């Protein structure tokens, strides 16, 4: 609905401000417009969670509690009408969050979309653009249960892992000889709030936007069940 409203504003030559939604989903697998069922390691008729085909690009991924979803609904006319630029800027937001908030050095991998720490993918990105309004967005694993990823080939990329901020902080504690999260100055129960605020802050910096926060009803993007 928000996307349709923004397209309507553009068609009427009215001002079209950007919107940023940050939330968590209940456990669900989502597939892109052209996603292949071959990347599902289960029978679609007996799926462990609901499976939906969405309008975004990319292959299958998992969303669930502990994973922050950032849905920018952004008018690229106000920024740069270049999809490659937009994808790189979304990656930059996550890279800055990991560095500034958690001292985690993340990077891009040439030819792949997303944000990585070593061979672990922490953030997946999939977008859809209509009349230069970009929507859908990115998913960042914070305290996510990673087991559901084992039932798919995440984003269609084989032989690479999926990671989370919590997992990397735990590894850092062990490497430094500590056994609890407090040694790393983070309480795992607060990681979602800390990361959410950092995402909003870094997004506003990267895209040079002034954020006005407010609570909104849960947004349901257009989804449909894939054909079996």
> How far is Cα 116 from Cα 108, in angstroms, rounded to an integer?
6
> How far is Cα 38 from Cα 218, in angstroms, rounded to an integer?
31
Q: Which residues are catalytic?
A: 155
Q: In the chain, what are the helix, strand and coil shares in percent, each to the nearest 5?
A: 35, 25, 40
The helix or strand, by DSSP H or E, that contains position 165, with its residue range, turns out to be: helix 165-175
From the centroid of its chain, how far is CA 122? 9
Angle between helices 165-175 and 191-206 (to 10 degrees): 110
Its sign, for the CA torsion 24, 210, 164, 111, is: positive
Q: How many other CB atoms are there within 10 angstroms of residue 16's CB atom? A: 22
Closest CA to 217 of 73, 71, 17, 23: 23
């Amino acid at each position: 609905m928000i996307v349709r409203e923004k397209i309507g504003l553009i068609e009427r030559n009215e001002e079209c401000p950007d919107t940023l939604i940050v939330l968590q989903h209940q456990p669900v697998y989502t597939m892109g417009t052209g996603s292949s069922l071959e990347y599902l390691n289960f029978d679609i008729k007996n799926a462990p969670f609901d499976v939906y085909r969405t309008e975004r690009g990319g292959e299958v991924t998992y969303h669930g509690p502990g994973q922050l979803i950032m849905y920018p609904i952004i008018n690229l006319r106000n920024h740069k009408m270049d999809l490659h630029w937009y994808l790189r800027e979304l990656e930059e937001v996550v890279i800055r969050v990991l560095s500034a908030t958690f001292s985690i050095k993340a990077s891009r991998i040439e030819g792949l979309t997303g944000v990585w720490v070593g061979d672990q993918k922490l953030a997946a990105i999939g977008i859809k653009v209509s009349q230069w309004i970009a929507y859908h967005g990115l998913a960042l694993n914070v305290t996510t249960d990673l087991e559901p990823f084992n039932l798919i080939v995440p984003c269609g990329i084989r032989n690479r892992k999926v990671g989370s901020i919590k997992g990397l902080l735990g590894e850092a504690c062990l490497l430094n000889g500590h056994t609890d999260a407090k040694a790393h100055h983070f309480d795992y129960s607060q990681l979602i709030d800390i990361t959410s605020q950092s995402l909003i802050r870094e997004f506003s910096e990267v895209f040079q936007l002034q954020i006005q926060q407010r609570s909104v009803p849960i947004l349901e993007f257009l989804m449909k069940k894939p054909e079996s």
